[in-house]
Amino acid sequence: MGLEQNEQQQYREIPDKFIDTAVTYQMKTYDYVLRPTPAAAAITVTLPPVAECKGRWYSIIARGISGGSVTVADKNDSECWPGDFVLDTTCDRALLYSDGLSWFVFYAALNAGYPS
């Protein structure tokens, strides 16, 4: 087998696809599923660079929120970013897609609409 496959992310390694964080977190391009659990503090989850995520979907669902919140932000590199948004109730969620230039945000909250 040739060496041309060595640069591919999925070749010979298993990337972390599930992250459970209770602190502010900078997502990597292979963090496809994020389940933040902020205790009593507000945390920020920053999306990876939009250009590096072309064609990928990312799922963020807040769980275990007890007085905290999760702000989802981009790296100020997305065209027409509607603004950072907050997940502040358990099971608030966002599904994000990158076309390489812009993040498309599909957002559902239990008590409010997007943007908050």
Q: What is the pLDDT of residues 62-115, one digit of tens each?
A: 988 888 899 999 999 999 998 999 998 888 999 999 999 999 999 876 655 445
13: helix, strand or coil = coil
Domain ranges of the chain: 36-116
Distance CA 78, CA 98 (A): 9
Number of C-beta neighbours around residue 83 at 10 A: 10
- CATH annotation of 36-116: 2.60.120
pLDDT of the residue at 82: 87
Residues 8-34, mean pLDDT to the nearest whole number: 77
Computed over every residue of the chain, the mean pLDDT equals 83
Residues 14-38, mean pLDDT to the nearest whole number: 86
Distance CA 64, CA 91 (A): 8
